[in-house]
Structure 1
Amino acid sequence: MVRKLVVGPVLIVVLALALAPLAAAPQAAAQDNRPQIVASFSILADVAQNVAGDAADVTSLIPPGGNPHAFTPSAQDVATLSDADLVLTVGVNFEENLLPVVEEAAGDHQVIVSECLPIHPVQVTEDEHEGEEHADEEHTEEAHIDETAIDPVCAGHYEAVEAAFGIDEATLTTGSMGPLYALECAGHDHEEDEEHEGEEEEHEHAAGSCDPHVWMDPANVALWTLTLRDAFSALDPDNADTYAANADAYLAQLAEVDDQAAALIDGIPEDRRVIVTNHMAFGYLASRYGLDVIGVVIPSASTSAEPSVQELVGLIDTIETHHVPAIFTETTVSQDLAEQVAQETGVQMVQLYTGTLSAPEDGAGTYLDYILYNVTAIADALQ
């Protein structure tokens, strides 16, 4: 039997539900006939497991500690994607090397969980060159963005987040270019203007393009939660009530962690709420909690880019001018350049988690712990 699920205006997932005899399937692979769900990376897998509970099995394709920007799937990974009932991806070209394989192996079983999310441009820091900033602004304008078009499903999700977080739609979407489904972000399934195809490839991770690190804002993860609830319920309607109850419980936990994180940042003197990071991954977190990202070591949302000598000199000047106390680095990104800048300026380096969870004993083993770990480390360094 084939069912068509519409989670958003662009997200159409065809779910093939095979009615094969239980004896024909390996017992270990289909225990209790629970849906088998594969998430692209550990953070998304953790969120999905909270929604699924005991009704579905969720695994992460990219293991904890892996760099999603650089991950290349193996033959076994391709088989895992092919066998999954659903494959979950962030979208916004976050899973750079993984997306073509997902399209081929998972096909219509893919769910892009960020469809409803308000997408921000990659932040432009004050040490970006004026000409580059202007070029990126022009590129963003070519994306044919309709900021007022909110799909009815997404509108319902916004209302639910407002009820849980006390954040109205205007606040939730402040600084965004619009919801993902209305944008032409790299790696997202929209028709491309051939005239600007090369230009998009060049700027897909530059300042002013779509920032894929949406989960750094817990309100965005709340929107993920609602999309996952809908997708799981369509796949497995017998457990729809379970998915709905799990989603409601997780929304409450997200809202509580959001309040705790906001209180930690509120304890930092306003003139010290400036940060320098290893790459452009903290824009959503900064926007949510009132931080100002004034410099980055790698001037890109991708970790594969490299700064020029002039950019590093400009970053050193920014750190010294603003008396920045720390450079925030990441567990999955090389710290070599950050170490050079830290030695030159005499500031400390503080390591955060961005594209992965930690081992449980390291303090960021779940998404809820991850947010509090990062915000606590930032608050401690800026106090």
Structure 2
Amino acid sequence: MLRLPLPSLLLAALLTGCQSVQDRPPTTVATLQPADLGSGKVRVTATTNMVADLAREIGGDRVTVSALMGPGVDPHLYKASARDVRTLQGAHLILYGGLHLEGKMVELLEKSGRAVAVTEQIPHDRLLRPDGAEGLPDPHVWFDVSLWKFAAGTTRDALSAADPAGKAQYAQNAAAYLRQLDALDAEVMTLTHSIPKERRVLVTAHDAFNYFARRYGVEVRGVQGVSTAAEAGTQNIQALARFVSQRGIPAVFVESSVPQRTVDAVIEAARAQGHTLRIGGELFSDALGAAGTPEGTYIGMVRHNAHAISSALGGLK
């Protein structure tokens, strides 16, 4: 028999009431019911700060938004706390990444009756399914800005369903934000294409950047797999060190939400093979930067990453 930790048991009870978790199908935008708002704002709870940023951009002054996971938090390993349970209980709308980004927590969220995955409208044929992931899609879709536009559209639609009176404002805010995303997509394309072709290789701690690679024309190598729950073996590290040495790659990157030790191990292994590698900078992968900084927004985070990658690999600074 599966034994859930106390926070998970509380979460199941509070989000589903007396109805069994198994009895209720996952909520989608199409099945989301209007919230009982009274005269107040829409209380939105997001799992990650990337999703929270979407809600703030599109919700504007009609919403109050809280994020369960802050800067530097790894959603693959996150476990809900009792405080999270209370926050979720008080939400009119819950937005989450989906595609198994939040792990087992999603099994409970999707039965709540008011939780929507912002990735639900992304066409299935545009999702990547890496080898070794048991057929599951790679959840890191935000690194392809053209895919994150679908998430913005879903957020607009979910807010409109929960708060029909705000539909026109949500549509206006979303249209303005989508124009910003189009400009960002073009900027990232320009930066990556400025890198010499032989150096368009992005080496990071784990395979979070596959969508970035496909969209912007770079090759990616991660020490770990798509989930940070996977361990990096000595064989993987040695093979990656040989690869960067043979290709003459000048830099590897650390990630804000992943320990640096695996990248350090690759640098040491490359040094033993006679190749000098340096850290090209810190990239934001599974979480945004601190609130109030440029990297604390989705657009600022993507722009930071693109400039760091381009500069370290010999492209535009």
The secondary structure found in structure 2 opposite 1:57 is: strand
State whether structure 2 residue 67 is matched by structure 1 residue 67.
no
Matched residue pairs, number? 281
The answer for the alignment partner of 2:42 in structure 1 is: 35
- C-alpha displacement of 1:360: 4.7
Offset at residue 16 of structure 1 (A): 6.0
Task: Spell out, residue by residue over 1:159-190, the C-alpha distance to the aligned partner (whole angstroms, 9 max, x if none).
Answer: xxxxxxxxxxxxxxxxxxxxxxxxxxxxxxxx
Partner amino acid, structure 2, of 1:303: T
Matched, 1:113 2:100: no
CA distance in 2, matches of 1:341, 1:246: 44
CA distance in 2, matches of 1:102, 1:317: 43
| Alpha-carbon contact 2:50-2:288 (below 8 Å) kept | yes
What secondary structure sits across from 1:53 in the alignment?
helix
- Residue 103 of structure 2 is aligned to residue 96 of structure 1: yes
- For residues 102 and 353 of structure 1, the distance between their equivalents in structure 2, rounded to whole angstroms, comes to 25
Does the 8 Å contact 1:70/1:97 carry over to 2?
Answer: no
Q: What is residue 227 of structure 1 aligned with on the other side?
A: 154
CA distance in 1, matches of 2:65, 2:290: 17
Asked whether the equivalents of residues 29 and 161 of structure 2 are also in contact (C-alpha less than 8 Å), the reply is no
**2:290 counterpart residue number:** 359
Q: Which residue of 2 aligns with 1:348?
A: 278
User: Residue 15 of structure 1 corresponds to which residue in structure 2?
Assistant: 33
Alignment of 1:50-89 (within 5 A): 50-89=57-96
Which one-letter code corresponds to 1:291 in the other structure? V
Deviation at 1:121, TM superposition (A): 2.5
Question: What CA distance in whole angstroms lies between the structure 2 residues aligned with 1:10 and 1:243?
Answer: 18
For residues 304 and 102 of structure 2, the distance between their equivalents in structure 1, rounded to whole angstroms, comes to 24
Q: Does 1:314 align with 2:314?
A: no
Cα deviation, residue 253, structure 1: 0.7
Change (3 A) 1:83 1:237: same
Give the match's secondary structure for 2:113.
Answer: helix
CA distance in 2, matches of 1:113, 1:120: 14
Secondary structure of 2:242 counterpart:
helix
Tell me, yes or no, if structure 1 residue 297 matches structure 2 residue 223.
yes
Q: Is the contact between residue 326 and residue 348 of structure 1 (CA under 8 Å) also seen in structure 2?
A: yes
**Aligned-partner SS, 1:63:** coil
Residue 344 of structure 1: CA displacement?
2.4
2:145 corresponds to 1:218: yes
Moved over 3 A (4+): 8-14, 16-19, 360-363
Give the counterpart letter for 1:48 in structure 2: A
Distance (Å, rounded) in 2 between the aligned partners of 1:344 and 1:269: 25
In the TM superposition, residue 62 of structure 1 has moved relative to its aligned partner by 0.9
Q: Distance in 2 between matches of 1:14 and 1:341?
A: 47
Corresponding letter in the other structure for 2:251: A
* Runs of 5+ consecutive residues of structure 1 not aligned to the other structure: 1-7, 23-31, 124-132, 137-202
Local SS of the residue matching 1:212: coil
CA contact (8 A) 1:15 1:85 kept: no
Contact 1:14 1:109 in 2 (8 A): yes
* Secondary structure of 1:256 counterpart: helix
1:146 is aligned to none
**RMSD of Structure 2 on Structure 1 (CA):** 2.1
Give the Cα–Cα distance (whole angstroms) in 1 for the partners of residues 204 and 61 of structure 2.
38
CA–CA distance in structure 2, aligned partners of residues 334 and 9 of structure 1: 35
Which secondary structure state, in structure 1, belongs to the residue aligned with residue 182 of structure 2?
Answer: helix
Aligned partner of 1:239 among 166, 177, 181: 166
Contact 1:46 1:367 in 2 (8 A): yes
CA apart distance, 1:98 = 2.6
- Corresponding position: 1:259 with 2:186: yes
After superposition, the C-alpha distances for 1:185-205 in whole angstroms (9 at most, x for unaligned) are: xxxxxxxxxxxxxxxxxx34x
Instruction: Give aligned-pair identity as a percent.
Output: 35
**For residues 118-145 of structure 1, what are the alpha-carbon distances to aligned partners after superposition, in whole Å with 9 as ceiling and x for unaligned?**
443355xxxxxxxxx5xx5xxxxxxxxx
Give, in angstroms, the shift of residue 115 of structure 1: 1.1
SS at match of 2:230: coil
Distance 1:14 1:120 in 2: 24
| TM-score computed with the length of structure 1 as normaliser | 0.69
Any stretches of 5+ residues in structure 2 without a counterpart?
A: 1-25, 271-275
The change in CA–CA distance for 1:363 and 1:343 in structure 2 (over 3 A counts) is farther
Q: Counterpart of 1:108 in 2: which secondary structure?
A: coil
| Preserved CA contact (<8 Å) 2:206 2:223 | yes
User: Any idea what SS the aligned residue of 2:121 has?
Assistant: coil
Alpha-carbon distance change, 224 to 71 in structure 1, aligned in 2, over 3 angstroms: same
Q: 2:277 corresponds to which letter in structure 1?
A: V
